[in-house]
Amino acid sequence: MVAVYHLFDVFFLDSEQITHSFKARGAFNNIIKLVESGQEARLKKKGLTTTSSGNAGIGYALACHTFGIPLQVHVPDQITELKERMMVKYSAEVIKHKLDYMDIITMAETSARVRGTELIDSCNYIDVLGGNGTVGLEILNDLPDVDVIFLPVGGGSLISSTAVYVKTVNPKIQIIGCQPETNSAMEHLVRTGKYDKLLLQDTISDATEGDVYENSVIETASALPIAAFLSVAEDYRDKKVALVITGSNIGCEKIKYILQNYSQHTF
């Protein structure tokens, strides 16, 4: 029998952002701050280089395209076709590498140095965090009495920036980071202080990747807070709960893969 009761209060839909993920927040904040500090002409001439597993690259591609700044994005070669196409649509040059992410960062650094472009960190830079943290600001505007926020964790820019804002306003609000069991390097790092590359196993969550929610398709990374919440929903019965849906950039090939591998139907 299925228990029917009040489940959660808010789906915070950053999957509906202009670039279909929350990453546009940090990218636009970073680029706008650079432009406002008088660096626009220099950046237009030199260009920017960054690394991304997809969504940050799309955010930066649109932000740079808006201001006419050339952009090169270094990405893993398993990047979905949709994410690559979106970056290219916004005029970015996409360089694919069959390497793990830390080595891709080294390649981007070398490329920026050789080409004389400026390297930007799409995850750990203060203005990126300042932009991504506006998720916390908007959740508190929409649901001031929220008790618990579930969100996905990859590199940690979303959870850290959101938590800084939310906990400053109300330290009692609980923030729950969600990672796939097979890809939990960040959870392990926070718990033990040690980074273990071996915990980076294959996952369908390529951005920490989709699932189907009513009429909207969301990325698999965004299914993490839903899956995590459903597994502990009973514990949060009397709480006000927000689930952050971070993106919807899932391509047809990924949907086909999920249906073929995780569905009970045969194709």
Which residues would be at the binding site for ligand PLP (CB under 6 A)? 21, 23, 53, 55-56, 123, 152-159, 207-208, 219, 221-222, 246-247
Q: Between residues 146 and 244, which has the closer beta carbon with respect to ligand PLP?
A: 244
What minimum distance in Å lies between the beta carbon of 16 and ligand PLP? 12
* Residue nearest ligand PLP, Cβ-based: 247
Instruction: Output 56 or 69, the one with its CB closest to ligand PLP.
Output: 56
Least distance to ligand PLP, CB of residue 245, Å: 9
Residue 70 or 155 having the CB closest to ligand PLP: 155
| Type of residue at 32 | I
Rg (CA), the chain: 19
Which of 25/43 has CB closer to ligand PLP? 25
Min CB(145)–ligand PLP separation in Å: 25
Judged by CB, which is closer to ligand PLP: 43, or 224?
A: 224
Q: How far is the CB of 265 from ligand PLP (least distance, A)?
A: 26
3-state secondary structure the chain: CCCCCCCCCEEEEHHHCCCCECHHHHHHHHHHHHHHHHHHHHHHHHCEEEECCCHHHHHHHHHHHHHCCCEEEEEECCCCHHHHHHHHHCCCEEEEECCCHHHHHHHHHHHHHHHCCEECCCCCCHHHHHHHCHHHHHHHHHCCCCCEEEEECCCCHHHHHHHHHHHHHCCCCEEEEECCCCECHHHHHHHHCCCCHHHECCCCCCCCCCEEECCEEECHHHHHHHHHHHHHHHHHCCCCEEEEECECCCCHHHHHHHHHHHCCCCC
Q: Which is nearer to ligand PLP, 43 or 258 (CB)?
A: 258
Rounded least distance, CB 211 to ligand PLP, Å:
12
Minimal distance, residue 32 CB to ligand PLP, in Å:
19
